[in-house]
Amino acid sequence: MLNKLRQSINHIFSRQGKRAKQLLLLGLSVSLIFIFFMLPPNRAWVKDRIFAYYRDFGWQKNKMGIEQRMADRFQGSYTYSKQISAFFEQKKIKPYATVLVPPTDYFTQHGINYHVPESLVFYYYTGLHTVWPNSPYAQKANWYVHVKDKKIIIDSIANRAAFSDTLKALNKFNIRL
């Protein structure tokens, strides 16, 4: 009996049993993945994240436009970023502008709930080049965003010395993703 088992195992892992080995590994892999997702925390994650997304996506795809889906998904981060970008689109200088955007803590301190996306994500949202105050390219910015009376203001940089002071002040805020 033991010899027959050994012969079967040797056959599976021999050159002639390559197809059988692939099928065995496939079955084992599928079984392990199934068991993994049947564990209670993983089952809840799949139900709440994967199936919910799949269910919502079909409805959103048929009933909402791309802009509305983006605004729904990314909320204030997307909406404020698009509003900042709209300023440059109106002036027709969007491709040439590099904008200094303060960190999230700056906006929070000034009463605005705006989670500032990192520069690459901001570009994905809007197509606008932005930099954070701690970036080595911050000195190359030619516009900057700030808050005045709980309103987001966009100004050009006219005085480089004053801008250096602005950078120093903004670098005191915690920059986080």
Residues 1-22: tens digit of each pLDDT: 667 766 776 666 665 567 778 8
**Quick check: is 86 in a domain?**
yes
Residues 90 and 158 in one domain: yes
95, 48: one domain: no
Per-residue pLDDT band for 118 (boundaries 50, 70, 90) equals very high
Range of the domain at 35: 2-63
- Are residues 115 and 133 located together in one domain of the fold? yes
Count: domains in the chain: 2
Instruction: Kindly indicate the confidence band of residue 63, based on its pLDDT and cuts at 50, 70 and 90.
Output: confident
Q: Is 90 in contact with 97 (CB distance < 8 Å)?
A: no
Q: Does 7 share its domain with 75? A: no
Same structural domain, 48 and 94: no
Residues 23 and 78 in one domain: no
Q: Do 54 and 92 fall within a single domain?
A: no
Same domain, 113 and 165: yes
Q: Which of 70, 176, 175 is nearest to 126 (CA)?
A: 70
Percent of the chain at pLDDT above 70?
92
Mean pLDDT, rounded, of the chain: 87
C-beta of residue 99 within 8 angstroms of C-beta of residue 128: yes
In this model, does residue 55 exceed pLDDT 90? no
pLDDT for residue 70 is more than 80: yes
Over residues 90-99, the mean pLDDT reads 90
Phi, psi of 130 (to 5 degrees): -130, 160
Residue, of 70 and 128, whose pLDDT is higher: 128
